[in-house]
Structure 1
């Protein structure tokens, strides 16, 4: 069963990876993705909002789907909310499997879904006081479309 958390504070990738593999001899590889806040266009901060409960259920559902599609031995998804500054981590996805292909594909699937289907609302803040909501990108939608099942 996947570990899923939504939290304001930073996460410790090494500790999360160690917890995922602790005591397991069936893990042949762990794929990881860490998304960082970029400082594009002089961004001062990115503010992520969500509906507690609903967001965790959605993340748990997609992690469960990944566990169904690939032979994973473990899965961790940690997504931050609140004010995040450029250079700080936003999201962590870890997938473990006996073999690399399953871990890598499941990790890519999860991050593609998080970019397009996760219920988060993102607002960019700039040093001059301007703010704008982040719009969906067609490139992210195209990346996620490859995982659609018939």
Structure 2
């Protein structure tokens, strides 16, 4: 039997080591680019993991934290602003943030939704738009116009 911790973390670390040996280490530019992509992502990221770790009670005070790499700090601040726009964080004062208690679960659901949408787009590639369609609310037995498109082969 393989230990659960090795399956969840060890395999990933081993794969990363093998890729690094094959392709070489990531450049500083690649690391910065990946970090910037995480700032606006609608999924749970390593920036979020660090935010959750540093705010176990939901309160995050940036001034109490030691200054890290300026690129990391800028990305973290950008992520907090993005979370604020998503309604998952709120700045309560200068450098003080209140983080949604269900941040991880909500972001994971958003990531799953994004994956489903990408899968549907791939499946609909090359299909034609069909319609007109109407939505039916089975509970109230009303009919409402649909917003969007449906695809078929």
Larger radius of gyration: 2
Task: Mark yes or no: TM-score above 0.5.
Answer: no
Q: Which TM-score applies when normalising by structure 1?
A: 0.21
Q: Which TM-score applies when normalising by structure 2?
A: 0.21
Q: Counting helix residues as a fraction of each chain, which structure ranks higher?
A: 2
